């Protein structure tokens, strides 16, 4: 199955074929016991972020007040129901992502975006720190026109802050959300199950003005 690592995105024709059945995953969140796949309370919203290795990213979001449940998964590519090993090759087109279900009356999408920008380096292209490859790319997958507008406005605001700090250009992809595939059970809430496990995320040290008095 050509299980080799690549730094270039595949096409629909060259991507791995995947499988029709979902992978085995947890039914409830390991930390808060809430159902990973729903149902979720009425009026709650969903966000999807790629920031590198999803182990540390998921913990970052499940700790936020107003976040109902989080899940590690794969999105942005072509292969249906990919395995972790397949995704790491870069031949699925997917990024490691975290799905965040949140109560918009307790935490807004703009605040999630601020956490997103400040806790990884969005200027690194197909990598995040020592994690190299398309699966570790920075990405926002929006689920509504409102999310798209906020994501793009926050990107522009953070780019201005980065330039002021002498940093490079943002490479984050902002695209409509496609299928989200839940990662295998051992990836869910990984750092709660393995407290000494690898995290891998780290920010630029530049504050994002979104959520600090600057409108998205």
Measured CA to CA, the distance from residue 127 to residue 131 in angstroms comes to 6
DSSP state of 92: S
DSSP state of 210: B
Residue 15: C-alpha distances to residues 90, 96, 175, 179 (Å)? 9, 16, 19, 15
- On the question of a cis peptide bond just before residue 39, with omega within 30 degrees of 0, the verdict is yes
For this structure, is 53 an active site residue? Answer: yes
Q: Which of 53, 88, 199, 208 is catalytic?
A: 53
What number of CA atoms fall less than 13 Å from residue 96's CA on the CB side?
Answer: 29
The neighbour count for residue 114, using CB atoms within 10 Å, is: 22
99: part of which helix (H) or strand (E)?
A: strand 95-102
Measured CA to CA, the distance from residue 89 to residue 134 in angstroms comes to 8
Contact 192, 31 (CB under 8 A): yes
Question: How many Å separate Cα 164 from the centre of its chain?
Answer: 26
Which residues carry out catalysis?
53
């Amino acid at each position: 199955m050509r299980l080799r690592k690549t730094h270039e995105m595949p096409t629909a024709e060259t991507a791995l074929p995947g499988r029709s059945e979902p992978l085995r995953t947890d039914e409830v969140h390991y930390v808060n016991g809430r159902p990973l796949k729903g149902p979720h309370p009425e009026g709650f919203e969903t966000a999807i972020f790629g920031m590198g290795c999803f182990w540390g990213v998921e913990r970052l979001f499940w700790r936020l007040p107003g976040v109902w449940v989080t899940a590690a998964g794969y999105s942005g590519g072509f292969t249906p129901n990919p395995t972790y090993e397949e995704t790491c090759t870069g031949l699925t087109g997917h990024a490691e992502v975290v799905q965040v279900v949140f109560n918009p009356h307790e935490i807004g999408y703009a605040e999630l975006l601020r956490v997103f920008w400040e806790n990884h380096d969005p200027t690194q292209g197909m990598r995040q720190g020592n994690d190299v490859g398309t699966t570790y790319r920075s990405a926002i997958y929006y689920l509504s026109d409102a999310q798209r507008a906020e994501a793009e406005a926050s990107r522009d605001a953070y780019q201005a802050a980065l330039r002021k700090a002498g940093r490079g250009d943002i490479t984050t992809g902002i695209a409509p959300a496609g299928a989200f595939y839940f990662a295998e059970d051992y990836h869910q809430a990984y750092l709660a199950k393995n407290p000494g496990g690898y995290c891998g995320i780290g920010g630029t040290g530049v504050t994002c003005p979104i959520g600090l008095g600057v409108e998205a």
